[in-house]
Structure 1
């Protein structure tokens, strides 16, 4: 079995950037991705627009040309998947990494299809796979969705949108404009300050005029087939009729996978340990790249500020070989 210089887990933008950096330094590498290329972006809402401008989403100095100031999901898919084709990146799709073990100086990587060996491993798995559950009765009902794609299925439906982040705000506005009766249940006292600046006034105005109902400092207690029961800011328990619940309460990295790979997780946010200058974890030659570095605090890292991880990691690997 060939022993790779680098095995990269995750084919998102940062994983691709790591591959491009390895390619530039003549290192043997392989990306293992459990879905399609940039799978997380593929699962974003169909009409989502990025907060960042196109140049801040670029990797390996390859121009991202967009006619709009803020590129959307489809443009990003074309850009990143186009790079993968044009640069001939080595990537295996629809293959899930199950286990990473280190035997001496070599990593053994077990997947859903086969096994690999590598001198170095980069985990760049993001955080979009595991919903941050509310842990309330009825959350497993078919009417409850933790991912939002498009508004059309929700026309003329009584909607509960849980959360106040970008995804929740986009879903509330889009479904409202397709004729849904939208109520937001929000744990905090206001719409998140991280909401896109051109969207935030829109949702606040719709709430102020009563077009979208919002309960702040409130939490869902139970979900039934035909209603949602929640506690408001005064501690009063309310029940309202409901057809669908979009529980857009955020997502988490796969902490079990990180632990099982030997990575130390620290504090309440389960921040994985890594050296800030090399991105190497407490396991020698096992690296982290991208948003997975933030633990539960998923707003710490995003594409534009974690692109540098690829260069840092490969520099550490190349320096260690000399």
Structure 2
């Protein structure tokens, strides 16, 4: 069986960038991806726009051409999937990595095959595992942890849980399609990380009463036709409800990281890695992209983690 120089797990923007850097350094590689190319972006809300401008989303100095000041989901899909096609990157799609273990080299077991590699890069992002509320009723069919578009929620009573970008987008879009929207927010204000051109919109809709918002509040139970929540004074409220959009964030696959031998530190489960090389506590096993932040998924994103690919491949090339 061929022993690859590098196995890359995840075909997101950073995984693609790792592959491009591997080719630049003359290293053999394969990307293994459980879904499609840039699978997380594919599952983003249909009309999502990035906070970053196009040039900050570029990889390998390949221009990201768009007519929009802020690229949207479709722009990004065209850009990154176009790179994969044009550069003929070696990617195996719809193949899930089940296990990474190390003897003299890494043995990678997937849903379809087994591979050997001298080095492994985990660039799996964080979008596949919702940060659950762990409350009664969360498993009801009306509860959604992913939001795609507003049309299914027209003329419905919607509860949006959260106050970050995904929650704000869901609240505004469903409101404008005729939904009665109530936001339940655990903090005292809309998140400061919300896109600057959207934040005034949601704050004004709340101020005028078009969107109901309960700050310093927490959902305690979800029922078939109602939602129960507690406010900052401890008062219990129950409101009629058709759908719950639980926009409470997402988490990396911590179990997979631990099973691969990576140490997780502190309450935020930050993976152990060398910031100079991106190598984890397991020799020749690297992290790249958002997965580096543990539960702090706002720490890393495309524009500030593109450099991980170059850091890793320079280290790997120097070891060869």
Considering the TM-score relative to the shorter chain, is it more than 0.5?
yes
Cα distance in 2, alignment partners of residues 275 and 163 from structure 1: 33
Query: Could you say which residue in structure 1 is the equivalent of 2:142?
Result: 143
CA deviation after TM superposition for structure 1 residue 320, in Å: 1.0
Cα distance in 2, alignment partners of residues 298 and 117 from structure 1: 30
Query: Could you say which residue in structure 1 is the equivalent of 2:182?
Result: 183
1:253-307 CA distance string (max 9 Å, x none):
0000000000010011000010001000000000000000000000000000000
Cα distance in 1, alignment partners of residues 229 and 53 from structure 2: 38
Query: Could you say which residue in structure 2 is the equivalent of 1:260?
Result: 259
What residue ranges of structure 1 are gaps of 5+ in the alignment? none
- 1:228 aligned counterpart, secondary structure: strand
- 1:310 aligned counterpart, secondary structure: helix
Cα distance in 2, alignment partners of residues 154 and 214 from structure 1: 18
Cα distance in 2, alignment partners of residues 251 and 188 from structure 1: 18
Query: Could you say which residue in structure 1 is the equivalent of 2:16?
Result: 16
Query: Could you say which residue in structure 1 is the equivalent of 2:76?
Result: 76
CA deviation after TM superposition for structure 1 residue 234, in Å: 1.1
Cα distance in 2, alignment partners of residues 96 and 160 from structure 1: 34
1:14-60 CA distance string (max 9 Å, x none):
00000000011110000000000000000000000000000000000
Query: Could you say which residue in structure 2 is the equivalent of 1:65?
Result: 65
Query: Could you say which residue in structure 1 is the equivalent of 2:32?
Result: 32
- 1:37 aligned counterpart, secondary structure: coil
Q: CA RMSD in A?
A: 0.4
- 1:297 aligned counterpart, secondary structure: coil
The residue correspondences of 1:245-256 to structure 2 (distance < 5 A) are 245-256=244-255
- 2:182 aligned counterpart, secondary structure: strand
CA deviation after TM superposition for structure 1 residue 12, in Å: 0.1
Query: Could you say which residue in structure 2 is the equivalent of 1:134?
Result: 133
Cα distance in 2, alignment partners of residues 320 and 97 from structure 1: 25
Asked if 1:44 is matched to 2:66, the reply is no
The residue correspondences of 1:53-202 to structure 2 (distance < 5 A) are 53-104=53-104, 106-202=105-201
Query: Could you say which residue in structure 2 is the equivalent of 1:241?
Result: 240
Cα distance in 1, alignment partners of residues 220 and 38 from structure 2: 35
* TM-score (normalised: structure 2): 1.00
Cα distance in 2, alignment partners of residues 259 and 230 from structure 1: 35
Query: Could you say which residue in structure 1 is the equivalent of 2:6?
Result: 6
* TM-score (normalised: structure 1): 0.99
Cα distance in 1, alignment partners of residues 112 and 215 from structure 2: 47
- 1:113 aligned counterpart, secondary structure: coil
Cα distance in 2, alignment partners of residues 68 and 98 from structure 1: 39
Query: Could you say which residue in structure 1 is the equivalent of 2:206?
Result: 207
Flag as ranges the 4+ runs of structure 1 deviating above 2 A: none
- 1:182 aligned counterpart, secondary structure: strand
1:236-260 CA distance string (max 9 Å, x none):
0110000000000000000000000
Cα distance in 2, alignment partners of residues 221 and 48 from structure 1: 29
- 1:214 aligned counterpart, secondary structure: strand
Cα distance in 1, alignment partners of residues 136 and 196 from structure 2: 35
Cα distance in 1, alignment partners of residues 264 and 192 from structure 2: 28
CA deviation after TM superposition for structure 1 residue 233, in Å: 1.3
1:165-203 CA distance string (max 9 Å, x none):
000000000000000000000000000000000000000
